[in-house]
Each structure stands twice: as structure tokens, then as C-alpha cells.
Amino acid sequence: MRSSRRLTCRFPAFVAAGCLLALLAGCATLSVSHLESKPIVAGPPTVIAMKYWRFEFTGALSGQSFVIHGRATPVTGDLPPWVDRAEEITFAAYLRDPAGNVLAKAGKAYPGMPLSPDAAVPFEFVLAPAGSAAGDYAISFGYRTLFGSAKARSALGAKSGPPPAGSVVFVGEGAVLKQ
């Protein structure tokens, strides 16, 4: 009974904190001004190289939307030598204006994979800017990846479920909230 009483007493504080966060989020916009960008519609494939992933893509206008397709390859040079697989992979594509403001975004999770020399993740994103105003659009990418070791997993007897603690490296780059 006491724990429910404490929760009831703290409930107004949770509501107030939630309202404050909602108010602040209403004033904030997503920005990718810190990420590399390339023009959205290009002839030959274009490359954006990030710290842990390299995105090669082409973009085309399809009605009111932009369709981006290509492949991402892992960049493993800065990873520990024991890393031999990507456990969890999430990519995001951001349609942006010249100032880096996000006009549209799309994301997708992909299954894990071994990090072989030919490792690549094919992707396709559809991005539709709000409204129909033409603009000087560009594309930026983001990612979140959990890299791990199949050898460490099997040595610890973890055949399924999340990877064992201490046997993973989390990396990510993406949009940030801007006030």
C-alpha cells in the first residue's frame, strides 16, 4: 500500500515533467547540419562516408516523394579487432534543406550479419517533404549499430538472445534536436 501511495504522490511531478518535455519538443526541430550531405537527385551513384558506414546511393523524384536506394558497407578500421559481426543495424535517411533542417525522415532496422569483406546492406527509403514547395534538397544518413563477436558469444555459451555484456560496441550518428 505504501508504494502505491508514493507513486500517487509523485504522479503530479511525472505529469508536470512530461508536459514540460512536450512543450520543449514542440519548439525543437531535428537538425543534421553536423552530418555530411549530398544532393538528393544525382546521375551516377553518390557516396557519403561516415565513421562506421559508407552509403552509396542514387536518388530520384517519384511524384511528390524522393526514392533513395543503394547499399551501405561497414567501415571497420576503428573497431576493436575482436569484432566480427554486426548484431543490430538501424539506418535513417534524412531529407534536408541547405541549413540542415530535417524536412522528412525514414528509418529501418536490418538483421545482423557477419563482417566479411563483401558485407553490405541494401536499402531503399521514400522521403516526402511536407507541402509541395520545391527546394534545394539534400540527403544525409544516420545509423545505430551494435557490433559484436560471434566467437565471444559462443565462448560464453550465449546461443540466442542479446549478446553478452562486454562483447559489444555500440556506435551511432544521426539527427539531433535543435532549439
Closest by Cα among 90, 93, 110, 111 to 102:
93
Q: Is the pLDDT of residue 70 over 80?
A: yes
Q: Are 175 and 103 in contact (CB under 8 A)?
A: no
pTM: 0.79
Task: Pull the grid cell for residue 125.
Answer: 527509403
Q: In Å, how far from its chain's centre is CA 2?
A: 42
Closest by Cα among 112, 97, 99 to 168:
112
How far the first Cα of the chain sits from its last, in Å, is 42
All residues at 6 or more sequence positions from 171 whose CB lies less than 8 Å from its CB, including other chains: 51, 52, 143, 144, 145, 147
Identify the residue with better confidence: 157 or 114: 114
> What whole-number distance in Å separates Cα of residue 85 and Cα of residue 168?
10
- Highest mean pLDDT (candidates 12-21, 92-101, 162-171): 92-101
Q: Are 105 and 93 in contact (CB under 8 A)?
A: yes
Q: Which ranges of 59-178 would DSSP assign to H, the alpha helix?
A: 150-155
Collapse the DSSP code of 126 into the 3-class scheme (helix H, G, I; strand E, B; otherwise coil) and give the result. Answer: strand
Query: For the domain with range 29-178, which CATH number is right: 3.40.50, 2.30.170, 1.10.3710, 2.60.40?
Result: 2.60.40
Any idea where the domains of the chain sit in the sequence? 29-178
Q: Is the pLDDT of residue 148 over 70?
A: yes
All residues at 6 or more sequence positions from 170 whose CB lies less than 8 Å from its CB, including other chains: 144, 145, 146, 147
Span 1-8, average pLDDT: 46
Q: What is the pLDDT of residue 168?
A: 87
**Residue entry with cell 563477436:** 149
Handedness of CA 78, 84, 88, 89 (dihedral sign): positive
Collapse the DSSP code of 57 into the 3-class scheme (helix H, G, I; strand E, B; otherwise coil) and give the result. Answer: strand
Under the banding of pLDDT at 50, 70 and 90, the label for residue 8 is very low
Q: What single-letter amino acid sits at 158? A: A
Collapse the DSSP code of 107 into the 3-class scheme (helix H, G, I; strand E, B; otherwise coil) and give the result. Answer: strand
Under the banding of pLDDT at 50, 70 and 90, the label for residue 16 is very low
Span 59-78, average pLDDT: 93
